[in-house]
Amino acid sequence: MTRAALLLLLVAAACASRRDTRPDVGSLVTASKDRVLPPRKLHVEVVETELSQQVDEYRIGVNDVLSVLVVGHPEFTGGPATGGAPPGVRVQKDGSIYLPLLDGVRAAGLTAVELQAQLRERLTKYLKDPHVTVDVSKHESQKFYVLGYVERPGVFAVDGDTTLLEGIGLAGGIKEGGDIEGAYVVRASALLPISLGDMLLRGDLRRNVFMRHGDFVYVPSAADWKVFVLGEVRQPGAVPMPQSGLNLAAAIAAGGGIDPVYASRYKVHVYRGSWQRPERYTVGIEDVYQYGLDIQLRPGDRVVVGASGLGSYQRMFNLLLPFLQLPVASGAAANAVGGG
């Protein structure tokens, strides 16, 4: 399937699965006739996140199959096609490739261009001005995972050129009932500030990153309503949200409550909206005690109790990650056992 076809499939699936399970970002406080948190006691700001520059660079790894061509000298090209395998030479477990007269050329960790230069240098011992080309004919060393509410969850090959949206397209797109706004990407034990909702529903492709080895993309169920209570509470974690709703006081109580000895030092930060550009509401502890029953949460809200430094967005990511990785890890294991 072409990339254009994958993207069309993805957009169609996203539109079909879009459901109004997450109201737009708005006031943190319900319209209560009796008690309403005064605006001066509620600090609201939009959190701006950054993402390091992404490059579509592929580094060769163990078990990759390489096509090596020395122009005019086929005797230096190894690995003819056998048993239905692609022609070429496989990178061995020691990270090297073995060609005629070139015993043990290190390939793992190099780009194709870097390996070309290394082979050219080695071949000057036998040839005058050798012309060498190297391509990866089969990507076997690196994988990424697309799991959750997608049509075909599984494990896919990293080729250095597959983007996040193309990866979801390879998984058949998002199923009806998938929570696009709540989907997330985990890379190298870090939650990336990326919003699938911004990409698929609002056309912002600036963070359509290239997939890397070990990336996990997870699309949760839109029916799985929960909020996260993190930081200085006795039992941080995910709190299920009943259909009747959940207020801030009840959510903190579900997290075991705040240690009263240190409570006066803390503030409560509520992050609402996408992973990429959420709104952060900050409320003092004393105001939570007074108005907490009237502060209504929404599915996906992240409540962080702590000092001002603990309320930083990156710190919140670090606190949240253990409670997001459980479905990712279990889904990855299931797909690995099933062969992807």
Q: Note the pLDDT tens digit of each residue in 261-296.
A: 777 778 899 999 888 888 889 888 888 888 888 889
Give the domain CATH number at 19.
3.10.560.10
pLDDT at 21 over 50: no
297 and 327 part of one domain? no
**For residue 327, what pLDDT is reported?**
60
Q: What is the mean predicted confidence (pLDDT) over 76-88?
A: 56
For residue 121, name the pLDDT band (cuts at 50, 70, 90). very high
Task: Determine what percent of the chain falls in helix, strand and coil, rounding each to the nearest 5.
Answer: 30, 25, 45
Q: Tens digits of per-residue pLDDT, 197-221?
A: 999 988 889 899 999 999 999 999 9
Specify whether 204 is located in the same domain as 233: no
Of 91, 110, 138, the last residue of a domain is 138
State yes or no: pLDDT of 85 exceeds 50.
no
Does 167 score more than 80 pLDDT? yes
> What is the reported pLDDT for 7?
46
Q: Report pLDDT for 49.
A: 80
- For 297-308, how does the pLDDT look when each residue is reduced to its tens digit (9 = 90+)? 999 999 999 876
pLDDT at 19: 45
Could you tell me if 219 and 279 lie in one domain?
A: no
Q: Is residue 30 part of a domain?
A: no
* pLDDT number for residue 332: 55
Window from 93-97, 191-195, 204-208, 334-338 with minimum mean pLDDT: 334-338
Alpha helices, DSSP H, located in 124-183: 164-170
Same domain as 303, residue 162: no
Interval 155-173 mean pLDDT: 95
Do 290 and 155 share a domain, yes or no? no
- Please answer whether residues 211 and 188 qualify as being in contact, where contact means their C-beta atoms are separated by less than 8 angstroms: no
The average confidence (pLDDT) of the chain is: 82
More confident of the two residues 312 and 20? 312
33 lies in some domain: no
Give the contacts of 290 (CB within 8 A, at least 6 positions apart). 35
Q: 50-59, 78-87, 110-119: lowest mean pLDDT where?
A: 78-87
Q: How many CA atoms lie within 13 A of 245 on its CB side?
A: 12
Does pLDDT of 24 surpass 50?
no
Type of residue at 235: Q
* Distances, alpha carbon 103 to alpha carbons 64, 78, 289, 340, in Å: 18, 12, 72, 35
Is 42 among the domain residues?
no
Domain final residue pick, 138, 153, 168: 138
Cα 30 to Cα 134: distance, rounded to the nearest angstrom? 62
The structural domain count of the chain equals: 3
Residue 256: which domain range?
226-317
pTM: 0.79
Same domain? For 331 and 202 the reply is yes
At 179, the pLDDT band (50, 70, 90 cuts) reads very high
Of 101, 105, 100, 103, residue with least CA distance to 117: 105
Mean pLDDT computed over 173-192? 91
pLDDT at position 22: 40
126 and 155 inside one domain: no
Q: Report which listed range, 55-59, 256-260, 298-302, is most confident.
A: 298-302
Q: Does 285 lie in the same domain as 237?
A: yes
Does any domain span residue 44?
no
Looking at residue 164, what is its pLDDT? Answer: 96
Percent over 70 (pLDDT), the chain: 79
